[in-house]
Structures are given as structure tokens and as C-alpha cells.
Amino acid sequence: MTAQSTTRVTGPDAASIADAARILAAGGLVAFPTETVYGLGADATNGIAVARLYEAKGRPAFNPLIAHVPDIGAAQALVAFDQAAAALAAAFWPGPLTLVLPKAAACPVAALATAGLDTLAVRVPNHPVAHAILDAFGKPIVAPSANRSGHVSPTTAAHVHADLAGRIDLIIDGGQTPVGVESTIVACLGEPMLLRPGGLPREAIERVLKNKLHAAPAAATDNGAAPLSPGMLATHYAPRARLRLNAKHAEPGEALLAFGSVSPADAGRAKIVLNLSPRGDPIEAAANLFAHLRALDSAGAGTIAVMPIPDDGLGEAVNDRLARAAAGR
Ligand code: AMP
Ligand code: MG
């Protein structure tokens, strides 16, 4: 299913919740209230659905998204909790606290949702409508704020409709969201670090930790291209191999990250070829981007040649991430 030209708005009745779950399962987009702000939900395990979500928001770049789950048990299937994370989850979930943790080996969340990172942001929201949808759907839901990129976060269904009508499938109206600001984000990848202030005050977190929260390096929270300490809070995925962008042809022995049709000559010269989208669809390319980069990197080529990708639609965000991946190594 693609985003509908008409966006339905319904109340949080049982039939609408069932509908929301069906739409999510089909790769569609559903806005719903959480206690912080309205989220724009997509199946976290479906790369195409996640790509559509970025497109609907008009995000110029892929920021990693928060996976919403019904309880700590569901979160444990996605990420590894250290002691601090377990204490914070026990104290504040459900609630406006997001934890960034190492991805579990069998984590089913799509690579695009984490922008290719080895860490995942998870949260258990505290809102009956969000829980009804999570329970009915049965899988993690990524849900950034349900607004166009650069606009303020929506706290009513009317705000969502004003921003996203015609771009998403369904809006579940559950009234005004009580907290009204986004969740507080804490990374537990070593010393707990405050990545974003939000609906849960820092002091409450520090009381549970019996310690001050560390401040995040500036580059860990914004979209700056500054290099970060290895393995920690890297906001940009970078492969080991060199990236050669806008490659018209593959050189012998290079890995080729293709887009659109590939000439037999290039296919022959390349050590390995993976195609982001043989039919030249930027949504499909976005969904495949990080998984393909990783696969080519682990194939051991020194250079990954990346064919030109038009800047249309999600192509702009794909090119943005490719440029950061090329610069970040
Ligand atoms: P939101 O826009 O409320 O969905 O929050 C998403 C924000 O969470 C991103 O812009 C990042 O700042 C942060 N975030 C999500 N995942 C990660 C991660 N794996 N590492 C660091 N920050 C993350
Ligand atoms: Mg937002």
C-alpha cells in the first residue's frame, strides 16, 4: 500500500485500531497519539515502509528513528540492556524516556530505521491508543513526530492532518497529547549520556542512576559530519571501504553499488554488484541503502563504486547519507 491521496481520520475505536494494524502490516503509515506528541507510525521491520515514512515527512536526511514497543520484554528482543538501562527502563517505562542501546544480534528492525547504525533507540510509550495499536500489530513501530520535516511537532490530530493529509493512510484521533514535547533520549553505551532533553526531566533520571548524566558530544546529537569516537554514538554509518561516489563505471575489482540498469561490462569488471533499485525507484533505494553498503563492505573490496542517484524525492536523502558515509571513514 502506498500513502493514500485521501487520509482518513477516525477515533480510537476497536475497528479503527484493527484497521491501523492492517495498514501497518501492509507497509502503510498511521499517525497516532503517544503521551509526548503524535507519532507517524510504520512497521519498523519493513524497509520500504520506513522509506515511505521518511518521504511522507519530507526529511532531507535519514535520522535514526525510535522503535516503539509495548513492554520491556519486547525491547529485550531488539537491544541489549546494561545495568543502567535496566534501572531506567524499570523506573520510567512506560513513559517519555527513549534509550539508545546496542542492537541485539537478531534485531529485526530495518537498517534504514537506524540509519545503518549498530545501536537502536527504543521506547515504551504511556498512552492507551499507542498501546492498543502496538498490541494489535504485534511488531515494533517506528514513530517520529507526525509532522513535515522542519515543522513543529503535532499535539492534536488536527495538527497532523494540516501537515500530512494526502501523504499518509490514517490518523487515529485520541485527543490532545498530555506531555506535548518529545521524549528525553539517553544513550547507555558505557557512561549514560543525555542525547536530547525532553518530557522526562534530567534530575529524575540522575536520581535513579545516582549519578550525573554525561553530556553528549555535539556531533552525536546533530547532523554535523564531525567524526566521533569509534563505535560510540556514531550518528553516521561509515563503511571500512572507500566510497567512490557518482561512479559512471566500475573499475576492476571494485564493489559496485548500482542504481537502475547496469551494463554487462560494469557487471563483469566489478568484484560484486548489489543494486539499490534496478527499476530506479528512490524509495526502494532508500530501503536497501544501509543493508547493501554493509554487505558490499563485508565482501572485502577496497573501494565501493556508487552509481549516480538522482536527487529526486528520497534520492536527496540517499545522496546525503552516501556523502556522510564517504566522509566519515
Ligand atoms: P524523533 O524525531 O522524536 O523520532 O527522535 C529521533 C531522534 O532520536 C534522532 O533524531 C536522534 O537524535 C535520536 N536517535 C535515534 N536513534 C539513535 C541512535 N541509534 N543513536 C543516537 N541517537 C539516536
Ligand atoms: Mg520531530
Q: pLDDT tens for residues 111-153? A: 999 999 999 999 999 999 999 999 999 999 999 999 998 888 8
Fold of the domain built from segment(s) 242-326: Rossmann fold (3.40.50)
| Res 316 pLDDT > 90 | no
- Res 11: pLDDT: 97
- Res 40: pLDDT: 98
Helix, strand, or coil here: 142?
strand
| Residue ranges of the chain that CATH labels 3.40.50.11030 | 242-326
Lookup: cell for 297: 563492505
- DSSP class of residue 169? S
**Which residues fall inside 5 Å of ion ligand 2, going by CB?**
145
| Res 1 pLDDT > 50 | no
| Residue ranges of the chain that CATH labels 3.90.870.10 | 8-234
Burial of 265 (0-12, 13-18, 19+ CB in 10 A): exposed
Asked whether 160 and 31 are in contact (CB, 8 A), the reply is yes
Calculate how far, in angstroms, residue 168's C-alpha sits from the geometric centre of ligand 1. Answer: 22
Q: How many residues does the chain have?
A: 329
| Res 234 pLDDT > 60 | no
In the structure, what pLDDT confidence band is assigned to residue 272 with cuts at 50, 70 and 90?
very high
Choose between 276 and 179: higher pLDDT: 276
Choose between 85 and 324: higher pLDDT: 85
The cell 563504486 sits on which residue? 305
Residue 222, phi-psi category: left (phi > 0), alpha (psi -120 to 50), beta (remainder)? beta
Residues with CB under 6 A from ligand 1: 63-66, 100, 114, 117, 119-121, 144-145, 182, 185, 195-196, 221, 233, 235
Beta bridge partners of 39: 32, 145
8-234: which CATH architecture?
Alpha-Beta Complex (3.90)
- The tens digit of pLDDT for each residue in 30-87 reads 999 999 999 999 999 999 999 999 999 987 678 899 999 999 999 999 999 999 999 9
| C-alpha to C-alpha distances, 45 to 25, 112, 265, nearest whole angstrom | 10, 9, 35
- Res 198: pLDDT: 87
187 residue type, one letter: A
